[in-house]
Amino acid sequence: MMERGKGDRIASASFFLLGLPATLAIPAIVISLFSLAHPSGLSLALSLVIPSLVIAGIALAFSAPLGIGAALFTSEFLHFRQRRPVTLLLEGLGALPPVCAAWIATLILAPWWDAISLPLFVFFILTPAVFSMASLATPLIPVHLVDRLFGPKLALLCSVLLGGCLLACIPFFRGASVLPPIHSSFGAGIAISLFLAPKVAARVLFHLTRIPDHLREASLTCGATRWETARRVVVPRAILPIGFTLLELMAWASGETMVVLVLCGSPAQAPWGGATLASALVLGLPESIPSSIAQGGLLWSALALLILSVLAQIPTALREPRP
Amino acid sequence: MRPHPAEPLAVCVTGAFTLLVVGSLSILCLLTFLVLSSAWPRDLELIEIQGKTTCIERLGSDAHGQWVRKSGQGDAWLLPANALDNARPTRGYSAMLLQDGRWFCSPNLELRESDGGYSSPSSRELVESTAAFHQDLLRLHSNARTGDTAAIAESRRLHALGKLLRIRIGNDSSRLEIPIQEIQSLRPDHPSFPEKIAILVQTLALQFRSSPSSFASLTGTVLATLLATLLASPLAIAAAIWLSEFSRPGKVAWLFRQSVQLLAGIPPVVFGAFGLVVLIRGAAPALDAPLATPSLLWASLTLTFLALPTVTRQAHIALRQVPSHLREASLCSGATRLQTLRHVVLPGARRGLWAAILMGSVQALAETAPLLLTGAVQLAGHPLLDGSAPWVHLGGGFEHLGTRIYHGIEQFPPGPLGTGAGSLACLVLAASAIALRTWAAALRHPRNGP
């Protein structure tokens, strides 16, 4: 490294001191929250971790296939001239404010919920479930026999029927409506996926575009189709960073507040509703008396969210080269 | 190139792309449609009263029908639009009545009593005016039924002159003829498309002004975002410059980088909790009264903490994208690191740095949860900006578009203008965030870039 002059040293020290708040924010937040937290809130925080993760999981279950699919299509199949506007669009859509997603869910999705719940159910839940059950059921004698005797189409139909019967045995899928109402954890997950899916797409696209082009070219030269290249070269290469990104986004979505607050966070939304760490914080913290046990207890919810997000980011941090 | 048709999962990928892009855009279009449809003007009857044209503005719609604001004679007041629709002479079942210098219109001949079912002040105005009109009509009706010969004679005379409108009161289908002496003409008004656009813009502006908190929430949103961006950007860019240009590769720089990375992934509500407990309840009591409570100042500081890691991270990426051979060439030419930074690195990373600042401001703009904990309220009761020094008042609660939308949802179903105004606030917030983020992305991905 080149020798530094006095001016450079002063500049370096100045920039370091100016930029110190960005570095000290994490220790400041962690230390202050830990020092003010009261152990009495630990059990509440632990009990709310699961509902928070469930909503984040539902959101990710919808947004991950959409986001990864959209990113894969954009990076591998879209014409290179169309990639930039689509990338800009995906990044822009990811900035939809959560409170707007809550408004859209309440005003636009809610009146059509019954109409859209069936396609959602079929597209996201029934089809994958039936396909997985069909693949599990293949060794079973009836389907296998049908496949041998009548061909794959009838076998698939039998699998779908079998899968449907199995699904009908689960109490969740029985009832007047195929899906829970919009004012539920499920509805909140759908609403979160409105802005989570473009976020997933933009992040996955970033990882896919970092894969060297010569790998794709080599695969295409060997005679593989574009899809085979995507499936056998691109996806395996990006699977780890994509997985870590999904993990980070799940931790981030578990702290999503506004949508949960509107759709299922309040006690009035029972029995389908569910308070989460974030909604408990927003509803309880302003009401708590400063420096009280109630305030200290609720801070465990913030700490739980903090710990979840830190844990989710550890794999990514470990992948980076260390000194 | 299209995916191979034989690959079923390729179809799924295409479907996912289509569903995501088309679905997101459709939802935004639906929101826009919702806002526009509530304000789109229909053909109206223009009412000329003694040579003066009244100003009729569309406000929106609710379960009671379309609502318009009529002004031009005295105070402006609200009417259901179907009252005006029925004011066509061809139908002849409605009337405008001038009494004590005020105009009253029969609201679609369904005169509503003030039963406490209306909550907004505008609706109360309507109910009061309707009740007064109802009383007048009942009085005239009873006079006609009692055989007031003078009234009957006058009625016949006016009927012969074609200046009489028949009125049906309530649901009992009884008809009453009264003279409408003050109305000069009722003529149809079918505005052209550009005129409709002008009315639409006027109506949208009116919708936004319909609640006193609209301007306040817009001001609060802009000020909070601006303050957070102005506070976060210099600190974050300084941190990125130190990381990129001055730090020696080692554990300190690695820890610095990881700390920023971790901070960027923390849910915003944690920052809100930090802002409330540490900043407001910990540090604020040391200040004077208006700043010692949750306020715009503390909310902006909390948003600053929220935006810091994003700006730092993106600025660091932008600075690292400047080719190192440019730095080396500058240093070899005898420039110091500071000169290299000023004349080579910063100009090269200008677009990326702007993108970083924009991304930080989008984050500050879009997040509402931290604001619920740090000072955003439903009704502030005092302006953030006024003509007296210091012009910007950072103390006390403030209104924000996000919290306005949130409280609008809480009160769902909203009042007569709630849906339109809430959707408009939602559209303004969403469009601003998406536009700024897209702009940032356009700066990050230049047209001729990689």
Residue A156: its pLDDT value, please? 55
The more confidently predicted of residues A234 and B159 is A234
Check CB contact under 8 Å for B365 and A251: no
Please check the confidence at residue B258 and state whether its pLDDT lies above 90: no
The mean per-residue pLDDT over the stretch A97-101 comes to: 92
Tens-digit pLDDT profile for residues A276-300:
888 888 888 888 887 778 888 888 8
Rounded-to-integer distance, Cα B76 and Cα B122, Å: 10
Of A23, A104, A298, the CB nearest to B239: A23
**Exposure pattern of A202-229 as b/e (b: 16+ CB <10 Å)?**
bbbbbbbbebeeeebeebeeeebbbbbb
The mean per-residue pLDDT over the stretch A24-46 comes to: 80
Of A25, A194, A254, the CB nearest to B305: A25
Rounded-to-integer distance, Cα A135 and Cα A154, Å: 14
Residue B76 sits at the chain A interface (C-beta within 8 Å): no
Residue B256: its pLDDT value, please? 82
Most confident of A36-45, A293-302, B63-72: A293-302
Q: Tokens 């960027």, residue?
A: B264
pTM of the complete model beyond 0.80 = no
Residue B238 sits at the chain A interface (C-beta within 8 Å): yes
Residue B128: its pLDDT value, please? 45
Return the closest-CA partner of residue A49 out of A320, A293, A223, A304.
A304
The more confidently predicted of residues A209 and A40 is A209
Please check the confidence at residue A228 and state whether its pLDDT lies above 70: yes
**Cα separations in angstroms, B423 against A211, B79, B203, B207, B230:** 42, 22, 14, 10, 29
Q: Tell whether the torsion through CA atoms of B291, B295, B296 and B300 is positive or negative.
A: positive
Most confident of A115-119, A268-272, B28-32, B381-385: B28-32
List CB contacts (< 8 A) between A311 and chain B: none
Residue A202: its pLDDT value, please? 93
Residue A96: its pLDDT value, please? 92
Please check the confidence at residue B394 and state whether its pLDDT lies above 70: yes
Confidence band of A81 (pLDDT split at 50, 70, 90): confident
The more confidently predicted of residues B328 and A33 is B328
Tens-digit pLDDT profile for residues B38-62:
666 655 444 433 333 444 444 444 4
List CB contacts (< 8 A) between B246 and chain A: 8, 11-12, 15-16
Residue A204: its pLDDT value, please? 93
Confidence band of B400 (pLDDT split at 50, 70, 90): confident
Please check the confidence at residue B6 and state whether its pLDDT lies above 50: no
Average model confidence (pLDDT) across chain B = 67
List CB contacts (< 8 A) between A235 and chain B: none
Residue B389: its pLDDT value, please? 67
Residue A145: its pLDDT value, please? 56
Residue A106: its pLDDT value, please? 84
Residue B227: its pLDDT value, please? 93
Written as six digits, the tokens of A241 are: 């960073």
Confidence band of B181 (pLDDT split at 50, 70, 90): very low
Residue B5: its pLDDT value, please? 45
Are A200 and A63 contacting, i.e. CB atoms less than 8 angstroms apart? yes
A vs B, Cβ pairs < 8 A, gives 314
